[in-house]
Amino acid sequence: MKRLLIAILLLIPGTATLLHGQGKSTIETPYVTRNTWSGTLLSYSCRAYFPQGTSTWTTAGTTLTNIVDSANTATATFAAAHGLYVGSRISVTAPAAAPNLTGTYTVATVPATTTLTVTTASVPDATYSTTLTITTAWPRTTAAVWIITRYRYDGSDNLIGAYAANEGAATACDDGANY
């Protein structure tokens, strides 16, 4: 009976490692890819590992100006370029007076380098400007954590090659057009 059980387990993928403890496991590190297009052609791609170290903006530290909520859309305004993009996830910590604003959100739009919007629910329409904190572990396009791949096309828009634009050195994705 014991041999039959072992034989059955060996036929099930992944169980041999558990039984013998000699298999190798691969830990895959997730990454984020950002593509930049020139018309219909892929111009360059940026790839960074996720998560990165935590980035923090606060109203107390004057890196975050305010968050304005109106009709279930909150617009965050930063003192400088934030480097976030559509699809990035952020966490907002708001004062006790605005508990519904506290939460984790997906960036919906980036109207400018210093603003972004998220969709909210049950947050009173108002301008919030005290005791706010926004954090993220997503790689920022302004941080030197990206590997950039450039794409080349012939006169007929056929892809003829791709190369590591920054030669394996991490750089800011926002600098991709310079390579």
Tell whether 12 and 85 lie within a shared domain.
no
Q: How far apart, in whole angstroms, are the C-alpha atoms of residue 95 and residue 51?
A: 26
Which residue segment(s) compose the domain that 42 sits in?
2-50+142-178
Task: Give, for all 179 residues of the chain, the pLDDT tens digit.
Answer: 433 333 333 333 333 333 344 444 455 668 899 999 999 999 999 999 988 889 999 999 999 999 999 999 999 999 999 999 999 999 999 988 888 999 999 999 999 999 999 999 999 999 999 899 999 999 999 999 999 999 999 999 999 999 888 876 788 998 888 87
| Predicted pLDDT of residue 98 | 86
Tell whether 6 and 22 lie within a shared domain.
yes
CATH of the domain at 132: 2.40.30.20
The CA-atom distances, in angstroms, between 149 and each of 31, 82, 139, 157, 158 are 15, 23, 17, 17, 17
